[in-house]
Structure 1
């Protein structure tokens, strides 16, 4: 092993300004931060020097493409901290850095004014100032050149009024010498994505269960007929599990049995058969034309389509015979199937990302994504990305977004926190979370404080799901209807992105395949289900109301202003979000006990909410339609889970979405 290199000698350098603590900065600039178009990028940095000289700082920003760098002044926040805010207006990778310099004019002006105020002689100081201004006049152009030359003459004549001449400070900011200019040691990046990456409500369903005939396999045409139902609940994204041909070898049977009978459908994640692989549509679902029609129908209803990307193959996937080198072989020559001991997945072959032919493999996988983009799909839910190399995802996402910056990638990685975070840094637009298993008030406070606090908030966009086809928590199994309502409100208001797996969620499906399991009984992963979408116990109308509240209140469509407020009952979780653009603040109170009525006082940070502590204010319950007049920070709430386990309050004035709304008992 080679010995470490010796530290470099310290260079002789007369520069005096120090720039450090730049934010946002992910892993010393190794990865870009994230924003969406129209979302503020606030850059902060510590900029200081020795002694008593003043410093100045600026933010240099380079938009994507061949656009020139633009300078933005930074303002002091105190304690040598500086800040500047820009609002990216286009997609792509933006670059930025911070520069600083000793502000010789500012230092001179500040000291000279103090001497004038003390009645001291400033004749020499005026001549020093005249030299600074005269030098700037030589660099200036247009009206600034005239102004600076005139002020220099005034100062040369010993007239102290020149120190405070109108326009002098602004002109000197533009033309005063910055030498020696100090530039931060790194150029940092921020990836700016489209608005849907920042917020959205997702709905997942299986097209094969969409048939109106319980004895017939559903098609994409049937699924298109279900889209008005999904749109009526106010969802933005409809997500389909894999729609490809399903392998026949080692096909799984109902309830994940290791053997299948004739007619068993198998798991959509066992991708590939003689009909094709990752760019083919399962024949029983239809054709590529049917998918195109599905995408068009969704668009006409104001929704986008997300497709599942699962980079794995069934044993009879065409790649297994065409590219056996893309798979890992055992000593006996057989291909290694997927395992998560003690679980075995004989119907799935993992891909070997480190094969000798890895470059061709990576290109082929990227081509899969490009193929579906060619069919109008630009949102992808990626299955198990944590079982593939980080470097692969970093390359693939950057390559795709270079040509298609509108592409959005959701990471489905329920794994160790550092791995989840690394995937987000590698480029995933959004990430599944531990939300399903964070159930007590203290767990939710701790977890979502972490997710919405730098540095994680600059890289990791949470997408909260109370259930998925793989996740039916014990709480959902035993909490009854109240816990489904509670989890819906929490997911939709704690996180700007959330989703549900339906119709299982709105129909309160809660039966597990076995005690202690989180797998659904008769899971759609292995068979078709028949759902009564018009069942009287459906939560569809409540879901529609919650999504309408989200759309009507921009405060809920971002995560950076999430703040938790204390309560005197640990079964009550209280939090707020404020709109950075100045819209109506939203306050949420949730009873996290699905079995008992809970009451107590919430203690609000009124300054955070923009509420005058000396005046009464109105809170309008957007779920239950009631209005309350509150005063001060401590106010009483009482929530019965059998009626509604949550309040979603608009604060200060009624919301613009103001209609009577029935209670959901």
Structure 2
């Protein structure tokens, strides 16, 4: 303890201040602290926010809550390291005002309150020096009134009592006690709000036989033709699996066959061959110049390219020959390939970060900076939970020293503590367990957990990936595809989907939670135009969801997610509200793709920005239909017609 008053349990504070909390430009960040003092005198608290250039803005007064907790929000407005500290102080005006009101209520008159009136005048004289010049006369007039001996009590004290709002904002502060500073790293807004689309460029423009054997390999040039449609669906991040040369030694065949057949293209995650490693382009995709042209073409369509960072190698990667010490050698002299028993990945060698850690760090930083120089500012990191945490902490913040706009998405489906730890050490976003939360109760509990972790972990919800085809999509039919897209895009400010989702691809490899004829191991060209012409595409629906997301600021944030009660366990009801614009979105979604459900809502009206008794217009943004709603409403969901209502909330005049 340093200073007169206690300041404890400060938030946001990540791992007791070891790591910075996270925010994005313009985000309202809740700040809290437990502050208390001796006796009955009034305590005040405020937050002092300091920008990356060391400038301190006007302090923000904190509001008292239960159990001596104080609360406020701050809003950082630039990228970089911000800091804040809590200040607790004696507030003599607040104590004087409370005391004199109690004495007046107890029947004490002007003859009893001479000292109180004099003390109040002294406090206000001090206060006059701290208020804006335009308010000084008001304060000095209150001083004069308190000292007006022949005036009645009401006339003497009323001007001073009316200063409560002004002196809350510009208090007299005594015995100021400050906390230590706490850091917040502030990213660009895409770190929190983004819509991702994943495709394999080698499949775009490719040709295969009826048996799936490759005839022609897709290139960056042919993949460019797909960009307009991705943009029309409203995505702003285009994620590419690894684009590097693919190893030939132990190459996997189609559907993860242990032995590849002639012409099999292998897994892009088996990186490296005689043609190069992590800093090279797969020759069949094109050249480095072709890749730069692809990035520029994507940018012209409003798409930012995200690149895969997979820190592993094929057996014929140049690192294996040049730096065998970077790998684990078995007693028989062979290099250990990747295993996740009983799974074996004979085509992949994991790096051993305990062997020459400085050499590995230097090389990986060089690789990342190389791709940054080509225009990449987003990296999706493969299996980060299998690499040391201190390495990621070093790499991410080293990169941000060079370019603070660079973002890292953690692809880690592992233990919750590990996923949270990756967020704490610096990962910008994280894959989540969204895919496996398949009923309303589980989803609500999981989302509430994520909101509680919003100071350091930002979720990105994906209904599918090349690795994951959940059984709900295997068997739920088109309604389930809509359901999962609505849940992902409306619950989380960042969401993504893997190509083929919009075509309702749902055939799984027997006994596995992944696609048959998996694109990880083979080319998979799709006839996009025919699917849309024959009304077999979800693309227009996806486009509408992303359009709703862009048009409603409430959907751009995570901390504002609020769940409302509904009396049907198959339905989930939630809202998001943006306090600046007043924009509010209210969603009711089913989890049952096969049956019609009715539910009755009990809405928390203040969470919608309304009084308990008010009625409002609920405009369904998916259909344009308007409803007259209040706190209690009956709702019907038919998954074959529309599996959710996505309402914008409009107050009645």
Of residues 573-582 and 312-321 in structure 1, the stretch that sits farther from structure 2 once superposed is 573-582
Provide the rounded CA distance (Å) in 2 between the counterparts of 1:194 and 1:645: 33
Q: Is the 8 A contact 1:92 1:192 kept in 2?
A: yes
Q: 1:347-358 to 2 correspondence within 5 Å?
A: 347-355=347-355, 357-358=356-357
Which residue does the alignment assign to 1:383? 382
Deviation at 1:158, TM superposition (A): 6.8
Q: Does 1:53 align with 2:51?
A: no
Counterpart residue number, 1:607: 606
How big is the shift at 1:109? Answer: 5.0
Q: CA deviation at 1:152?
A: 7.8
What per-residue deviation string (whole Å, max 9, x for no partner) do you get for residues 448-482 of structure 1?
Answer: 12112x2x122111100010000011111111111
| Unaligned stretches of 5+ residues in structure 2 | 209-214
Length-normalised TM-score, structure 1: 0.88
Change beyond 3 A, Cα 1:112–1:612? closer
Task: Determine if the alignment matches structure 1 residue 637 to structure 2 residue 650.
Answer: no
Aligned to 2:18: 30
Checking the alignment, whether the CA contact within 8 Å between 2:61 and 2:169 is kept in structure 1 is: no
1:510 aligned to 506, 509, 517, which one?
Answer: 506
Q: Is the Cα–Cα contact under 8 Å of residues 483 and 594 in structure 1 kept in the other structure? A: yes
Give the alignment partner of residue 494 of structure 2, picking from 497, 518, 528. Answer: 497
CA-to-aligned-CA distance 1:373-398 (integer Å, 9 cap, x gap): 11111011110000011111111111
Q: Describe the shift of the 1:58–1:158 C-alpha distance in structure 2 as closer, same or farther (beyond 3 A).
A: farther
Alignment match, 1:246:
246
Q: How many angstroms does 1:591 deviate by?
A: 2.1
3-state SS in 1 of match to 2:223: helix
Alpha-carbon displacement from aligned partner over 1:170-202 (angstroms, at most 9, x marks no partner): 6898695633x3222x32111111111111111
1:107 aligns with 2:95: yes
Is 1:344 aligned to 2:341, yes or no? no
**1:438 counterpart = 2:437:** yes
**Structure 1 residues 318, 51: closer, same or farther in 2, change over 3 A?**
same
Residue 622 to residue 175, structure 1, CA distance change in 2 (3 Å): closer
- Partner of 1:70, secondary structure, is coil
Contact 1:133 1:172 in 2 (8 A): no
Q: 1:549 Cα shift?
A: 1.2
* Residues 47-86 of structure 1, C-alpha deviations (whole Å, 9 max, x = no match): 2211111112221222113x23334132333443333322
Aligned to 1:210: 204
**Matched residue, 1:18:** 6
* 1:373 aligned partner: 372
Residue of structure 1 in register with 2:174 after alignment: 178
The TM-score normalised by the length of structure 2 is 0.90
Aligned residues: 633
CA contact (8 A) 2:63 2:72 kept: no
Contact 1:441/1:570, CA 8 A, preserved across alignment: yes
Q: 1:142 to 1:233 in 2, by over 3 A?
A: closer
Shift, 1:115, TM fit: 4.5
Name 1:73's counterpart in structure 2. Answer: 60
Within-5 A mapping of 1:196-275: 196-211=190-205, 213-214=207-208, 215-275=215-275
Matched with 1:651 is 649
**Could you tell me how far 1:164 is from its partner in structure 2?**
4.5
Where structure 1 has 5 or more consecutive residues not aligned to the other structure, the ranges are 1-10, 655-665
Alpha-carbon distance in structure 2 between the residues aligned to 1:363 and 1:158: 79
Match of 2:323 in 1: 323
Q: CA, structure 1 residues 143+376, in 2 after alignment: closer, same or farther (shift >3 Å)?
A: same
Counterpart selection for 1:121 from 112, 123, 129:
112
Distance in 1 between residues matched to 2:551 and 2:292, nearest whole Å: 31
Out of 182, 186, 197, the position equivalent to 1:188 is 182
Q: Distance in 1 between matches of 2:181 and 2:449?
A: 27
Deviates more, 1:422-431 or 1:557-566: 557-566
Alpha-carbon displacement from aligned partner over 1:543-564 (angstroms, at most 9, x marks no partner): 1111111111122222222222
Q: 1:138 to 1:272 in 2, by over 3 A?
A: same
Q: Is the Cα–Cα contact under 8 Å of residues 511 and 520 in structure 1 kept in the other structure?
A: yes
**Residue 464 of structure 1: SS of its match in structure 2?**
coil
- 1:389-420: per-residue Cα shift (whole Å, max 9, x none)? 11111111111112211111111000111111
Partners of 1:123 and 1:158 within 8 A in 2: no
**Alpha-carbon distance between aligned partners in 1 of 2:432 and 2:397, rounded to the nearest angstrom:** 23
1:551 equivalent to 2:538? Answer no
